[in-house]
Structure 1
């Protein structure tokens, strides 16, 4: 199994995340600062080759970096996931010109990258049709008209973003994936969605109406083939959020008073063992490429991690006792962190693909195997 030392974050970033975690969860006042803060720490460069402006390492290193941020703020880790996933699409794209044009600003945090491919991932699993449409405007298909809407995309930073989305095409042409810049004509971002948590994640809906774009913005000409290759990184980077949040919740239990710690020690140790084992399985599958041919194995890991997050958050709440149910109390500032982590944990099962969708996919996979 693949093991990896936990990613260490710069002390100034840790201080910033801890100071703003509550505000990022409950409001958008500091939403514009997240991408620059993460970029200043060099986090977007992790897992990117040095020749491309990165700091080296692999996708697994990037997952660990997301986990490290999630220990302090899941809203920030969610933004990190969106940015790093878009970067991953560029790294896996055959469009070298697009990569060279967009990557420097993304790595430096000068532009936000958003993954609008949740709809496409559900399309890949036959859960829903594509909601975006591309029509060629010339015989050579060098320009396209884009139309459609996506109801939920994270890291649509108002100061500037580029979003990846999949579009069906006419005449039995395979769906394609395009990168769409925020300032293209016909691109409209909604107001931030009224989330119950993670409100500083710049999450909004996106509408394209008659947006014209040329082929230089195409990430992949065959969306299905690309998504099969990209899905392990998409889900793996997403799992970083669960890994980090579970680790932090278990750490809170271990840091509680002696009597509480003794009462919860066995349950916390069992969860820690399960977490470490699933994390190792995830890293091995991502590093070896095994999840490309065996996506169900990664679905199982994602489901298992979400269940561990839920159990760890409950232990966190038990360790805090009544203090963990207080909205605010100057005497027990850590109680706010406990409540926040429980709100964050409630998000993990519904992030696309949701646990219900994954469980349905696993059931279908098992039926197919039995047949």
Structure 2
């Protein structure tokens, strides 16, 4: 990962507010405008679409830079930018044209909503939203139990929808103002609370064909899965770098024995970053998703080892309320990495099923 290339005012704000973003639900309203003001959502978006250009790995690095300061902010960044990516890769260019300006400027939130779909694609779960035909449109019913970046009254949400009356599925864009959409109160998380994470219930929600992101979910989802997962990897990369750096700084105080394992872990992190960049550059992850699954698993394991080494390097000070506050927050952040969908258990299950099928 490149050195922190964030706008200095954003980096300072994230650093100063990281504890609040982790603990205070009411701070969620500040995150999207701050990120948008630094123009981070435009990274990797073609200039013709209102962005600043760049490659998918540039998006990963930007999410990593934000996550190094605050995983809560990185989580919001991931959800919002991934929804933007769905529009960029949608054949429905009219929908993208309508929605992208407000999304890139942070005036409305974008939520991926496709965690269920990614598990469905790997054969791990049925789709939780169904549609029945009504004229040339659809009526949707279902529930998404965990969606991030659902800014109250101002969000767009992508959802994979199974046809109720025939095989197949499509991906639709829903909006906060749609009749029949009910957003729950924010989930009572142990950290990352300023992320507008809630459940969504759909009850007889009407959408027209102009709200369809992709008519064939089975064909389209593998094309966007590399962005979904690689942008997610940016969160792990940023947290791992920050924890390793904190451990290296603390290890100077009579804990030189940790220098070697910290150097080895930093090297292992660089290997995974290079593999991620190469897979994105070549497009290999679209046809070889298992390679991306393994990178995501490896990065989560690196995060766990990094936070453990930070604890050893910091010693008893890490257990003091004031002195250990930043470590305690990173510990909670690290605990989230294995469970974010698709979780490590789900990824390992998918890899095991693939191996069994090949055998």
1:63 aligns with 2:56: no
User: For residues 65 and 85 of structure 1, what CA distance do their matches in structure 2 show?
Assistant: 13
Matches within 5 A, 1:107-256: 107-138=104-135, 142-256=136-250
Alpha carbons of 1:63 and 1:260: their partners in 2 closer, same or farther (altered >3 Å)? farther
Alpha carbons of 1:135 and 1:341: their partners in 2 closer, same or farther (altered >3 Å)? same
Aligned residues: 359
Could you say which residue in structure 1 is the equivalent of 2:354?
365
1:106 aligns with 2:106: no
Contact 1:67-1:77 within 8 A present in 2 as well: yes
Could you say which residue in structure 2 is the equivalent of 1:266?
260
How many Å apart are 1:283 and its aligned residue? Answer: 1.2
- 3-state secondary structure, aligned to 2:139: strand
User: For residues 152 and 351 of structure 2, what CA distance do their matches in structure 1 show?
Assistant: 38
- 3-state secondary structure, aligned to 1:349: coil
How many Å apart are 1:159 and its aligned residue? Answer: 4.4
Structure 1: gaps of 5 or more residues: none
After TM superposition, the score normalised by the length of structure 1 is: 0.95
Q: Which of residues 331, 348, 351 in structure 1 aligns to 2:337?
A: 348
Contact 1:255-1:261 within 8 A present in 2 as well: no
1:278 aligns with 2:272: yes
RMSD over aligned Cα atoms: 1.1
User: For residues 347 and 157 of structure 1, what CA distance do their matches in structure 2 show?
Assistant: 21
Q: Which of residues 66, 79, 82 in structure 1 aligns to 2:79?
A: 82
Structure 2: gaps of 5 or more residues: none
Q: Which of residues 23, 29, 33 in structure 2 aligns to 1:32?
A: 29
Alpha carbons of 1:268 and 1:257: their partners in 2 closer, same or farther (altered >3 Å)? closer
Larger deviation, residues 303-312 vs 22-31:
22-31
Contact 2:251-2:314 within 8 A present in 1 as well: no
Contact 2:173-2:211 within 8 A present in 1 as well: yes
Could you say which residue in structure 1 is the equivalent of 2:2?
5
User: For residues 28 and 170 of structure 1, what CA distance do their matches in structure 2 show?
Assistant: 37
1:297 aligns with 2:294: no
User: For residues 296 and 254 of structure 2, what CA distance do their matches in structure 1 show?
Assistant: 30
User: For residues 202 and 150 of structure 1, what CA distance do their matches in structure 2 show?
Assistant: 14
User: For residues 68 and 214 of structure 2, what CA distance do their matches in structure 1 show?
Assistant: 34
Alpha carbons of 1:369 and 1:260: their partners in 2 closer, same or farther (altered >3 Å)? farther
Contact 1:23-1:29 within 8 A present in 2 as well: no
Deviating beyond 6 angstroms after TM superposition, the runs of 4 or more aligned structure 1 residues are none
User: For residues 297 and 89 of structure 1, what CA distance do their matches in structure 2 show?
Assistant: 22
- 3-state secondary structure, aligned to 1:208: strand
How many Å apart are 1:7 and its aligned residue? Answer: 5.0
How many Å apart are 1:361 and its aligned residue? Answer: 1.0
Contact 1:254-1:261 within 8 A present in 2 as well: no
Q: Which of residues 273, 281, 284 in structure 2 aligns to 1:287?
A: 281
Contact 1:95-1:218 within 8 A present in 2 as well: yes
- 3-state secondary structure, aligned to 2:203: strand
After TM superposition, the score normalised by the length of structure 2 is: 0.98
User: For residues 297 and 260 of structure 1, what CA distance do their matches in structure 2 show?
Assistant: 40
Q: Could you report, residue by residue, the CA deviation over 1:107-133 in whole angstroms, capped at 9, with x for unpaired residues? A: 000000001000011111111110001
